[in-house]
Structure formats: structure tokens, C-alpha cells
């Protein structure tokens, strides 16, 4: 229990140590999760109240709030950035993850990518806003009331690391909406490593938190090909973690 994460600052330090973490654990995926760091492995996020209804555990309530606060305060980059799963990335490791997009790291570099029309319109709308916006702002900007299509476009743009989460936006009524911003505008990516070095950095981060890791495990976690995973792990194991940390360019 003494090693459990119990505050927002401790959550930020956990992400810094991990480099890359899911918000909620996924079976068979060799990535740590914030929920397990807060509640412990295998702990459910709901509990039954005296009236028989289900309610969130206190740990789940904290995780749900902290994932947004970490992103809002730029303590971690949060969004559906890892295979479409909600994840948190440390600022130090973020350039390595972004490098695998093949883009330059400029706030408008999505213009160099091949995007479906709606995704391009959404990205342009967020760029033009020059501030974090929620889904309602986006729908108004692109001129549609189709909430599902816009939600799918936003999720896809997070997977592509075009958009990232930036906390929440409160309105006069209703639940707070998730705020989105252009990832390269929100975080200073600096000089990006090459693709091979980036994969080695990411492999080193995953291996550092896993008790053991195979090429298949790494492929499942990050979407690398089996060949890329094997080569990255071999380099990590041959050069050691200190050499791999040196690849993390500012």
C-alpha cells in the first residue's frame, strides 16, 4: 500500500517514471496503468452501495479527475494516443512517440498528412481556434450536428497524435466537456529522434516497467511490427537503459 499513488503530484511522478502508461489496464498489454498504480492490480472500479446501486470507488474517482488534470497542467500528455487506448505520456518520452508519425512536429504539420475530409476540417477548426476547444465548439466550427461522426474524427486524430486532451471545459449547463488542442502546439517537442531511435526509447520505457517483455508483447502494446519490436528490444538489452536514455533528445 505504501507505493500506491495518492495525489496528483504522485500521479505525475508515476507517469514520468513509466514514460508511457494507460489510464486503465488492458488484459494482455504490457503497459502499466494509472488505475492500478492508484488502486492496485485487479481492483474493480465500482462498488455496491447499501441501497444496492453501483458507485465508483474513491480510487476511480481520483483517476477520472487526475487524467484530466495531468493533461490540463501539462504534467503529462493525455489522450487516445496508444493504439486508440486512453494513455498518458511523459513530456520526456513524447518526442519519441511523435517521431513515429513521420511529421515534423509543427502545429500545422497535419496538413502534410493524408486525412479524411472531416478529420482535416476538425484539425483546421482547432488550429483556427488558437485555444483548447470541446466537441461542441468543433461541431459548430465544421457545421454539423452529427456528434458520432465528430467524436470518431476526434478519436482518430488523437490516435494520429494530431489532437491531444487539454483538460475540460465547463459550460452553464451539463457535464464538463473534454478540451482538445493540437498536440505540437500544446507541447514543445523540440528535436525529434529518428524512427529507429524512437522505437528503442519506447521499448526501453516499456521494458523498464515490465517484469519481462517479448517482441510479441511489445508489438501488442505499441503496434510495432514483430521485426521492429525484436530489433528494438535487442538494442535495448545490448546497450542497456543508460544508453537508451541518452537517445531521448530535447
Confidence label for 250 from pLDDT (cuts 50, 70 and 90) = very low
pLDDT band (50, 70, 90) for residue 45: confident
The pLDDT tens digits of the residues spanning 89-148 come to 999 999 999 999 999 999 999 999 999 999 999 999 999 998 999 999 999 999 999 999
106-113 contact pairs (CB < 8 A, 24+):
106/184, 107/182, 107/184, 107/185, 108/182, 109/184, 110/157, 110/160, 110/162, 110/182, 113/160, 113/162
Around 82, how many Cα atoms within 13 Å sit in the side-chain half-sphere? Answer: 32
Q: What are phi and psi of 98, to 5 degrees?
A: -70, -35
Helix 215-222 to helix 195-209 angle (10° resolution) is: 110
Residues 42/33, Cβ–Cβ less than 8 Å = no
What average pLDDT does the structure give for the chain? 92
- Helix %, strand %, coil % for the chain, to 5? 50, 15, 35
The Cα 5–Cα 114 span in angstroms is 40
Structure confidence at residue 116 (pLDDT) = 98
**Given pLDDT bands bounded at 50, 70 and 90, which one contains residue 44?**
confident
Residues 42-50: what's their mean pLDDT? 73
Instruction: Tell whether the model's pLDDT for residue 245 goes beyond 90.
Output: no
Longest C-alpha distance within the chain, in Å?
57
Q: Torsion angle, CA of 86/89/94/99, rounded to 10 degrees?
A: -30
Q: What is the mean pLDDT of residues 137-165?
A: 97
- pLDDT score of 180 more than 50: yes
- Average of per-residue pLDDT across 16-32: 96
Q: Is the dihedral of CA 234, 225, 164, 160 positive or negative?
A: positive
pTM, whole model, 2 decimals? 0.91
With CA atoms as reference, report the closest residue to 20 among 250, 183, 205: 205
Per-residue pLDDT band for 51 (boundaries 50, 70, 90) equals confident
Tell me, what's the pLDDT at 1?
44
The DSSP secondary structure of 13-70, one letter per residue, reads HHHHHHSEEESS--TT----BHHHHHH-TT--SEEE-TTS-EEE-HHHHHHHHHHHHH
Instruction: Give the three-class secondary structure for 168.
Output: strand
DSSP helix/strand/coil, 81? strand
Amino acid 241: pLDDT = 59
C-alpha grid cell for residue 80?
487516445
Q: What is the mean pLDDT of residues 149-177?
A: 94
pLDDT bucket at 48, cuts 50 / 70 / 90: low
Region 163-180 average pLDDT: 91
Q: 140: alpha, beta or left, given left = phi > 0 and alpha = psi -120 to 50?
A: alpha
Q: Residue 120's pLDDT is what?
A: 98
Q: What is the pLDDT of residue 246?
A: 46
Per-residue confidence (pLDDT) for residue 212, from 0 to 100: 86
What structural domains does the chain harbor? 8-91 (no CATH), 93-105+193-250 (no CATH), 108-186 (1.10.10.10)
Residue 2 — pLDDT band, cuts 50, 70, 90? low
Amino acid at each position: 500500500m505504501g507505493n500506491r499513488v495518492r495525489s496528483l503530484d504522485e500521479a505525475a511522478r508515476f507517469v514520468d517514471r513509466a514514460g508511457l502508461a494507460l489510464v486503465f489496464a488492458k488484459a494482455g498489454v504490457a503497459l502499466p496503468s494509472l488505475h492500478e498504480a492508484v488502486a492496485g492490480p485487479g481492483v474493480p472500479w465500482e462498488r455496491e452501495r447499501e441501497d444496492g446501486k453501483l458507485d465508483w470507488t474513491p480510487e476511480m474517482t481520483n483517476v477520472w479527475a487526475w487524467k484530466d488534470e495531468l493533461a490540463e497542467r501539462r504534467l503529462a500528455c493525455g489522450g487516445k494516443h496508444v493504439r486508440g487506448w486512453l494513455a498518458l505520456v511523459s513530456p520526456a518520452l513524447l518526442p519519441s512517440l511523435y517521431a513515429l508519425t513521420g511529421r515534423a512536429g509543427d502545429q500545422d504539420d497535419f496538413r502534410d498528412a493524408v486525412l479524411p475530409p472531416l478529420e482535416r476540417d476538425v484539425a483546421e477548426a482547432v488550429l483556427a481556434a488558437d485555444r483548447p476547444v470541446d466537441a461542441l465548439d468543433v461541431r459548430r466550427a465544421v457545421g454539423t450536428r452529427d456528434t458520432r461522426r465528430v467524436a470518431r474524427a476526434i478519436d482518430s486524430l488523437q490516435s494520429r497524435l494530431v489532437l491531444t486532451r487539454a483538460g475540460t471545459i465547463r459550460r452553464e449547463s451539463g457535464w464538463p466537456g473534454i478540451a482538445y488542442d493540437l498536440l505540437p502546439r500544446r507541447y514543445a517537442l523540440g528535436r525529434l529522434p529518428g524512427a529507429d531511435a524512437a522505437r528503442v526509447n519506447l521499448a526501453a520505457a516499456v521494458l523498464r516497467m515490465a517484469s519481462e517483455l517479448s517482441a510479441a508483447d511489445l508489438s501488442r502494446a505499441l503496434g510495432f511490427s514483430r521485426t521492429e519490436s525484436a530489433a528494438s528490444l535487442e538494442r535495448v538489452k545490448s546497450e542497456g537503459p543508460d544508453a537508451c536514455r541518452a537517445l531521448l533528445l530535447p
